[in-house]
C-alpha cells in the first residue's frame, strides 16, 4: 500500500505539470483497508477489479463489486474498505480538472467542467454498469487505464478523450444534482476536522474529550456523530489507523517492534501486539516476515 495514500488531505502532486493524471493500482491481499478517508483537489475515478469493496463518499457508503466504478469529485472525503477479509484490488485514476479545461474558457468549460470542479453541480457517484451508457462509461475507463499503464502511443490524447466522454455520459444520464445542502456540507467539514486531528496526532495519546473539542460537541454527542458516519467508534477508528501506519513501518523500515509501537501511539508493547493481531490476524513479527 502506498504511504501517500494514507494521508488525509493529500498534498502530493498527481502526474506532471503538463499531464496532471496518475493511475494507481491499489491492492490489499489480506482484506484490510485499501486506503483510509482523505480528500484532494483533484477528481478521481475508481474501477473495482477484485473483491467486494465498501466506498465511503462524504456521508454516504456504497458497496461495489468487480466491474463497477466510482466518480469522486474535488474535495470529496473518500475511502475504500473491503467488505470481507479477502483480497481486494481497484484502479484509481486521479486527475486535475485543469486537464480538461480550455485555454479560452469556452462553453464546455463554463457549462460542464467548472460547475463540477467547484461542486456547484454534483455528478452521479456510483456506476454499476446497469445501463448501456454506464457500460460504455466503464469501457472508456478501462481504455484510459490500459493506455496509461501501457504508455501506448498518444496515451495522453486517449486519456483526455476518454475523460471527456465519461463526463458527457455522467452529465447526460440526467442524474446530476445541485450542490449539497449547507447542513450536509457542515457535517462533512466537521468530520474532516476530526479525521485530520487523528491523522496528525495519532502518535500521541488522544482522548475522546480532545476529539469532541475539535468540533465543539459533548463526548456523548460526538461518539454518536462519529459512529453514525464512520460505522465504528472513534477508538476503533484510531486503532485501525494506527495499525495501518504500523504496517507501513514494519514493511518499509528495520525499526524494532517496540520502536514502531511507540511511533504509532502505544506505550505498552503487549497491548500494541494484541491490537495488531486483532486487526491483521498476525503478530507484528509474523506480519513483517510474511511481507519481507
> According to the model, what pLDDT value does residue 18 have?
87
CA distance 124 to 73: 10
Question: What integer best gives the mean pLDDT of the chain?
Answer: 89
Contact status, residue 100 vs residue 160, Cβ threshold 8 Å: yes
Residue-range domains of the chain with CATH: 3-178 (2.60.120.810), 182-290 (1.10.10.60)
Supply the pLDDT for residue 22. Answer: 96
The angle, 0 to 180 degrees and rounded to 10, between the axes of the packed helices 182-201 and 219-230 is: 100
Over the stretch 77-110, which tens digit does the pLDDT of each residue have? 999 989 988 899 999 999 999 999 887 888 888 9
Task: Give the tens place of pLDDT for each residue, 9-31.
Answer: 555 556 678 899 999 999 988 77
> What is the rounded CA–CA span in Å between residue 260 and residue 262?
5
- For residues 135, 137, 143, 145, the Cα torsion angle rounded to the nearest 10 degrees is -110
Please indicate whether residue 143 or residue 117 has the higher confidence score (pLDDT): 143
More confident residue, 108 or 272: 272
User: Over the stretch 27-79, which tens digit does the pLDDT of each residue have?
Assistant: 988 777 888 888 898 999 999 999 999 999 988 889 999 999 999 999 999 99
Which phi and psi (to 5°) does residue 267 adopt?
Answer: -100, 5
292 has pLDDT over 80: no
143-158 tens-digit pLDDT = 999 999 999 899 999 9
Quick one: pLDDT at residue 180?
66
- Cell numbers at residue 106, please? 469556452
Burial track 91-101 (b if 16+ CB lie within 10 A, e otherwise)? bbbbbbbebbe
Question: What distance in Å separates the CA atoms of residue 265 and residue 108, rounded to the nearest whole number?
Answer: 49
pLDDT given at position 228: 86
- Span 225-245, pLDDT tens digits: 999 888 889 999 999 999 989
Amino acid at each position: 500500500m502506498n504511504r501517500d495514500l494514507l494521508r488525509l488531505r493529500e498534498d502530493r502532486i498527481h502526474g506532471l505539470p503538463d499531464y496532471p493524471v496518475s493511475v494507481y493500482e491499489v491492492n490489499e491481499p489480506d482484506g484490510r483497508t485499501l486506503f483510509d478517508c482523505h480528500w484532494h483537489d483533484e477528481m478521481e475515478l475508481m474501477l473495482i477489479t477484485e473483491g467486494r469493496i465498501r466506498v465511503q463518499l462524504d456521508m454516504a457508503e456504497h458497496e461495489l463489486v468487480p466491474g463497477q466504478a466510482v466518480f469522486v469529485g474535488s474535495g470529496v472525503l473518500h475511502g475504500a474498505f473491503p467488505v470481507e477479509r479477502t483480497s481486494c484490488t481497484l484502479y484509481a485514476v486521479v486527475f486535475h480538472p485543469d486537464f480538461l479545461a480550455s485555454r479560452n474558457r469556452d462553453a464546455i468549460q463554463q457549462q460542464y467542467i467548472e460547475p463540477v470542479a467547484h461542486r456547484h453541480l454534483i455528478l452521479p457517484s456510483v456506476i454499476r454498469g446497469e445501463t448501456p451508457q454506464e457500460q460504455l462509461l466503464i469501457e472508456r475507463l478501462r481504455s484510459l487505464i490500459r493506455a496509461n499503464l501501457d504508455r501506448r502511443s498518444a496515451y495522453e490524447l486517449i486519456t483526455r478523450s476518454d475523460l471527456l466522454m465519461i463526463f458527457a455520459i455522467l452529465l447526460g444520464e440526467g442524474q446530476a444534482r445541485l450542490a449539497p445542502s449547507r447542513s450536509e456540507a457542515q457535517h462533512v467539514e466537521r468530520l474532516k476536522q476530526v479525521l485530520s486531528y487523528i491523522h496528525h496526532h495519532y502518535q500521541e495519546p488522544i482522548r475522546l474529550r480532545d476529539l469532541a473539542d475539535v468540533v465543539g460537541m459533548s463526548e456523548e454527542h460526538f461518539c454518536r456523530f462519529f459512529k453514525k458516519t464512520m460505522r465504528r467508534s472513534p477508538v476503533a477508528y484510531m486503532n485501525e489507523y494506527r495499525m495501518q501506519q504500523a504496517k507501513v513501518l514494519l514493511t518499509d523500515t528495520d525499526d524494532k517492534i517496540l520502536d514502531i509501537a511507540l511511533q504509532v501511539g502505544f506505550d505498552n508493547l503487549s497491548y500494541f501486539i494484541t491490537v495488531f493481531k486483532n486487526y491483521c490476524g498476525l503478530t507484528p513479527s509474523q506480519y513483517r516476515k510474511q511481507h519481507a
